[in-house]
Amino acid sequence: MKTFWADLHVHTCLSPCGDDRMRPRAMVQQAKQKGLDLIAVCDHNASGNVEAVRQAGRGEGLAVIGGIEVTSEEEVHVLALFDEQQGLRDMQRLIDESLSGENNPDLFGEQLLCDERDAIVGQDTRLLIGATALRVEIVVDSIHHLGGLAIASHVDRESFSILSQLGFVPENLAIDAVEVSPRRSVAQVYAQRPELKAYPAVRSSDAHTLEQIGAVRTGFTAAAPSVRELHRALLGEGGRAVMN
Amino acid sequence: MILKDIQRELDADLLVGQDNLDLAIEMACGADLLSDVLAFAKSGALLLTGLTHPQVVRTTEIAEIKAVCFVRGKRPLPETLALAEEMGLPVLCTALPMYEACGRLYRLGLPGCSQAGEDR
Amino acid sequence: MNVSDLVQRAELAVKAGAGGLDAEVTGGYASDLLSAVMANAVEGNVWVTWHAHPNIVAVALLVKLSAIILVAGRQPEDETAEKAEQEGVPILVSSLPAFELVGRLHAMGVAGAT
């Protein structure tokens, strides 16, 4: 068992709001400088840069989890994290089937696809800022069905969080954890909304620029830097634990 | 104003509450963010919303909302309707967008939550 | 009617994008779901919303909205105001909740889609 320091929510230049410099090598270097062992790449409704970041991380000893920040019909953001490439692909397919519209790069920002050496290899033309037609329970259940972990994004933010959109966490919503943004501590959020204590919490940067990577982090003690082990740490299984 | 007046003004379908057409409605609020409803809506209001999630109905219970009108032709999910029926919450459904629905009801004399009623 | 007429008559505070105050107002749209605004609002509409997030400016530009009105005294985030100022998208603030603000605008003749 070992303690892994993780930033479980970083965007790349594929997100329309992600900085142009958020490219695989640069991100990996920044993460290593910040002392992270693990990052999860979660672009808005997209996963096209996951493999490039993973490959860039491989040479540097940085574990990279593949994820997507899914926008539900209610405009709730949910992180979907997967160990298996197949799970991520299937989740992406589900999103693609229920997301419409085309991006306008001048207004929303470019959606750049990169290789592991930071070269641009294409653009994603879909309206990634848009909402899927999937209600939030379907998003969460699909993530679980495909073997992933579902974390409610930035629950303390007043836009696009489960609390802003739906007032409180629906009782049948099976999220695995809540994410707290850098602007609050987990203790503050738990104190403000005691009902959230029913869920384990992680604290992530939601980085859109290089400087933001690792601004806050979550440590977990487990056997490996994987989604499965993170899940067990969130549940406190077999001596595993999460630290914020 | 009673529920029936609102139904007529918005040319709305009454999905739940046939027995409640005479229900007095004293004010209204319009929101798609349920956090906003919990923070600002007052007891006894009509809620106009474009969200169709069952959480809308659960929120009305906490905020003591008297009736809900789904706008812009959004049909509530079956689960949402079932919950509303169970709770006896009248449900309307109009093809009008939020803006036009609010505008018409205000013009008809229905006040908003900052103008009328008691604090919860 | 243009945006400055609305500012005066509905007692709105101009927070950014004063360069766009001459734009003609074609009607109103109220929603807190960005996807609904992108899909349904039309050019020249004023958009009534609770959102203060920077993305509202991009949405306004996409749809070519004449102005954004924040309700219940909400203040635009700094980045939102900066972007709106650059692009000349008026960000106006009303102290009223959405229902009452829309009611007043509607009574002034700013209609919604039917």
Mark B58-79 as b/e (b = at least 16 C-beta within 10 Å).
bbbeebebbbbbbbbeeebbee
Burial of residue C39 (number of CB atoms within 10 Å: 0-12, 13-18, 19+): middle
pLDDT for A89-103, tens place per residue?
999 999 999 999 999
> In this complex, is the C-beta atom of B32 within 8 Å of any C-beta atom belonging to chain C?
yes
What residue ranges define each of the domains in chain B, with the CATH number in brackets?
3-107 (3.40.1390.20)
Residue with structure tokens 């909302």?
Answer: B65
The partner residue sitting opposite C62, judged by closest CB among A74, A104, A158, is A104
Q: Evaluate whether A162 touches A198 at the Cβ level (below 8 Å).
A: no
Do the Cβ atoms of A129 and C62 come within 8 Å? no
pLDDT at residue number A22: 98
pLDDT at B21 over 90: yes
To the nearest whole angstrom, how far is the Cα of B54 from the nearest Cα of chain A? 9
pLDDT at B119 over 60: no
Q: Evaluate whether B79 touches B62 at the Cβ level (below 8 Å).
A: no
Q: In chain B, count H helices and then E strands.
A: 5, 5
pLDDT for B87-110, tens place per residue?
999 999 999 999 999 999 999 999
- Number of folded domains that form chain C: 1
Phi, psi of A43 (to 5 degrees): -85, 160
Residue with structure tokens 């495909």?
Answer: A146
pLDDT at B70 over 70: yes
Residues from chain B contacting residue A167 (CB–CB below 8 Å): 34-35, 37-38, 55, 59, 62
Alpha helices, DSSP H only, in chain B? 3-9, 34-40, 55-63, 78-87, 98-107
- Chain C residue with CA closest to B40: the answer is C97
pLDDT at B120 over 60: no
- Rounded to an integer, the average pLDDT of C46-60 is 95
Cα-based angle A31, A33, A35 (whole degrees, multiple of 5): 75
Whole domain around residue C64: which residue ranges?
A: 3-107
Q: Which residues contact C22 (CB under 8 A, 6 or more apart)?
A: C2, C3, C4
Cα-based angle A74, B66, C99 (whole degrees, multiple of 5): 60
Residue C35 resides in a domain: yes
- Chain C residue with CA closest to B94: the answer is C114
pLDDT for A198-214, tens place per residue?
999 999 999 999 999 99
Residues from chain C contacting residue B104 (CB–CB below 8 Å): 106
ipTM: 0.96
Residues from chain C contacting residue B112 (CB–CB below 8 Å): 96-97, 99-100, 103
> In this complex, is the C-beta atom of B34 within 8 Å of any C-beta atom belonging to chain A?
yes
Residue with structure tokens 């046939």?
Answer: B18
Q: In chain A, count H helices and then E strands.
A: 8, 11
Residue C24 resides in a domain: yes
Do the Cβ atoms of A165 and B54 come within 8 Å? no
Ranges of chain A with pLDDT below 70: none
Res. B118 pLDDT band, cuts 50 70 90: very low
Residue C25 resides in a domain: yes
> In this complex, is the C-beta atom of C111 within 8 Å of any C-beta atom belonging to chain A?
no
Residues from chain B contacting residue C111 (CB–CB below 8 Å): 100, 103
> In this complex, is the C-beta atom of A190 within 8 Å of any C-beta atom belonging to chain C?
no
Interatomic CA distance for residues C71 and C76, integer angstroms: 11
**DSSP string for A136-185:** HHHHHHHHHHTT-EEEE--TTSSSSSHHHHHSS--TT---SEEEE-TTS-
- Chain C residue with CA closest to B27: the answer is C99
pLDDT at residue number C114: 86
Q: Best of C33, C99, C100, C102 to disrupt the B interface by mutation (most B CBs within 10 Å)?
A: C99
Residue C59 resides in a domain: yes
Q: Which helix (H) or strand (E) segment is B108 a member of?
A: none
C-alpha dihedral sign at A211, A52, A75, A185: negative
Written out in words, the top-level CATH class of the domain with range A2-243 is alpha beta
- Chain C residue with CA closest to B101: the answer is C112
Q: Best of A156, A162, A168 to disrupt the B interface by mutation (most B CBs within 10 Å)?
A: A168
Residue C112 resides in a domain: no
Residue C114 resides in a domain: no
Q: Which residues contact A60 (CB under 8 A, 6 or more apart)?
A: A28, A29, A32
